[in-house]
């Protein structure tokens, strides 16, 4: 925190030079004591009016400090719509792809064929199993004719075993046909006819697009499972239902710096009309779109309409910056977002109300000669009073 002595007046469109104002202004000169000390500078005039044309002006005290700005893009996250169900289909048998029956974007019913794989090894197993079953059945017929009970029981057991082997071989052969596990849309086909695949190789992706979900950062205290929420997707507003509230997803870890108690809401959206697509971005309304700074609570005030604000010194001009509160850090500081500039200096306290657009310059002993000074204002750094609430009303936290 530091201080300087300034002379200031209201800005004018006719000139960019500082203007000295008379008794109509509540602030004519700004005197900031060194290092924030309450002791006035040596050239501070007395409280008695001095003779001369400027004897109606006075000195006041401001306390200010530099700002450490964090740009909003540090908190830029892009929650995206995802299918409620998404499946990567993999080959279960080795072989060559002999037919691709579906294309990306095609809607399939459950168990509809996507592609077929020719697997000679599994076809051979199926033939062997059928032959074994035929042999076993012939042996059973012979055993029945001989009326040997032991031989008949053994032959019957062989028949049952051959049937099981055939069922297994047919099941493996059926796996050579890749089908949709549920009513879905084909997202990708990852192989072409003639490709050779091994078990476990991905061959296609399908998804149920009738229901979409989004993992959305939310204020924990404001979101409960089962609640209907409004989501902004581009220019369209859609409704969704919160399915669950879970710890904040790692992709949003940067938001912890805002000191807001956040969580992730899993929100489901009805998309039976097909108006939405996976990958579309959902807006997060509480995220900052302007620079973020950490400021003392005493620097934040409210205007006459209750809108939060701070005052800064920018290029020797006092500027009112409208801000939005984010998270509070401890009991003395709060993160705010607003249209700050890199060289802004935050005004943390003032002995008189501040007026947006007031031009200032450093005051000198010669400038101060003959000026009227408010003793309390020139010696003590004080925050704005309640009677000036329209320009500097202290907010409650």
Full set of structural domains in the chain with CATH: 66-71+289-358+378-392 (2.40.420), 76-84+209-270 (2.40.30.170), 86-204 (2.40.50.100)
**Lowest pLDDT segment from 95-99, 160-164, 316-320:** 160-164
- pLDDT category at 190 given cuts 50, 70, 90 is very high
pLDDT at residue 7 tops 60: no
pLDDT of residue 299: 93
Distances in whole angstroms, Cα of residue 140 to Cα of each of 156, 162, 369 = 6, 12, 127
pLDDT of residue 152: 78
pLDDT at residue 16 tops 80: no
User: What mean pLDDT do residues 196-212 have?
Assistant: 95
> 239 or 161: which carries more pLDDT confidence?
239
> 261 or 45: which carries more pLDDT confidence?
261
Do 301 and 315 form a contact (C-beta atoms < 8 A)?
no
The rounded distance, in Å, linking the Cα atoms of 223 and 229 is: 9
- pLDDT category at 93 given cuts 50, 70, 90 is confident
CA proximity to 392, closest of 357, 355, 340, 338: 355
pLDDT of residue 381: 31
Tell me the two tokens of residue 100.
């691709």
Of the chain, the percentage scoring pLDDT greater than 90 comes to 45
pLDDT at residue 20 tops 70: no
> 47 or 111: which carries more pLDDT confidence?
111
The rounded distance, in Å, linking the Cα atoms of 270 and 207 is: 14
| Sign of CA pseudo-dihedral 96, 101, 103, 107 | negative
Do 248 and 256 form a contact (C-beta atoms < 8 A)?
yes
Of the chain, the percentage scoring pLDDT greater than 70 comes to 73
pLDDT of residue 25: 33
User: What mean pLDDT do residues 244-259 have?
Assistant: 90
74: which DSSP letter? G
pLDDT of residue 55: 39
The rounded distance, in Å, linking the Cα atoms of 29 and 4 is: 12
User: What mean pLDDT do residues 7-14 have?
Assistant: 43
User: What mean pLDDT do residues 105-116 have?
Assistant: 94
The rounded distance, in Å, linking the Cα atoms of 127 and 112 is: 26
Residues 335-386 have pLDDT tens digits of 999 999 999 999 998 877 888 988 777 766 665 565 544 433 333 333 333 4
Tell me the two tokens of residue 256.
């912890």
Residues 117-135 have pLDDT tens digits of 987 767 667 777 787 878 8
| DSSP strand pairing (59-60 vs 29-31) | parallel
Q: Per this entry, what is the length of the chain?
A: 397
Three-class SS of residue 377? helix
pLDDT at residue 33 tops 70: no
User: What mean pLDDT do residues 23-28 have?
Assistant: 33
The rounded distance, in Å, linking the Cα atoms of 199 and 337 is: 54
pLDDT of residue 351: 74
183: which DSSP letter? S
pLDDT of residue 60: 64
pLDDT at residue 238 tops 70: yes
């Amino acid at each position: 925190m530091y201080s300087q002595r300034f002379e200031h007046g209201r800005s004018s469109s006719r000139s960019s030079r500082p203007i000295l104002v008379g008794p109509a202004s509540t602030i004519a000169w700004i005197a900031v004591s060194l290092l924030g000390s309450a002791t006035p500078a040596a050239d501070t005039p007395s409280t008695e009016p001095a003779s001369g044309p400027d004897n109606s002006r006075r000195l006041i005290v401001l306390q200010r400090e530099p700002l450490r700005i964090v740009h909003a893009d540090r908190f830029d996250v892009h929650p995206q719509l995802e299918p409620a169900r998404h499946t990567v289909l993999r080959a279960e048998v080795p072989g060559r792809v002999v037919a691709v029956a579906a294309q990306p974007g095609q809607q399939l019913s459950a168990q509809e064929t996507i592609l077929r794989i020719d697997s000679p090894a599994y076809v051979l197993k199926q033939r062997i199993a059928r032959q074994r079953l035929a042999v076993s059945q012939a042996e059973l017929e012979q055993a029945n004719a001989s009326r040997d009970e032991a031989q008949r029981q053994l032959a019957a057991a062989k028949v049952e075993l051959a049937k099981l082997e055939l069922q297994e071989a047919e099941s493996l052969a059926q796996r050579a046909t890749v089908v949709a596990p549920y009513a879905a849309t084909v997202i990708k086909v990852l192989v072409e006819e003639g490709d050779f695949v091994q078990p476990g190789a991905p061959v296609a992706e399908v998804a149920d697009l009738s229901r979409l979900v989004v993992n959305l950062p939310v204020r924990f205290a404001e979101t409960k499972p089962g609640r209907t929420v409004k989501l902004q997707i581009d220019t369209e507003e859609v409704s969704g239902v919160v399915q669950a509230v879970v710890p904040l997803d790692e992709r949003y870890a940067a938001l912890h710096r805002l000191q807001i108690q956040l969580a992730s809401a899993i929100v489901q959206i009805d998309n039976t009309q097909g108006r939405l697509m996976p990958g579309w971005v959902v807006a997060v309304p509480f995220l900052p779109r302007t620079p973020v700074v950490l400021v003392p609570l005493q620097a934040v005030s409210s205007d006459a309409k209750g809108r939060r604000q701070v005052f800064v010194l920018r290029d020797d001009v006092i500027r009112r910056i409208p801000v939005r509160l984010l998270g509070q850090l401890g009991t003395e500081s709060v993160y705010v977002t607003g249209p700050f500039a890199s060289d802004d200096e935050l005004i943390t306290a003032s002995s008189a109300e501040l007026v947006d657009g007031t031009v200032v310059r450093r005051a000198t002993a010669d400038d101060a000669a003959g000026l009227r000074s408010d003793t309390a204002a020139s010696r003590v750094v004080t925050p704005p009073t309640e009677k000036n609430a329209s320009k500097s009303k202290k907010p409650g936290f």
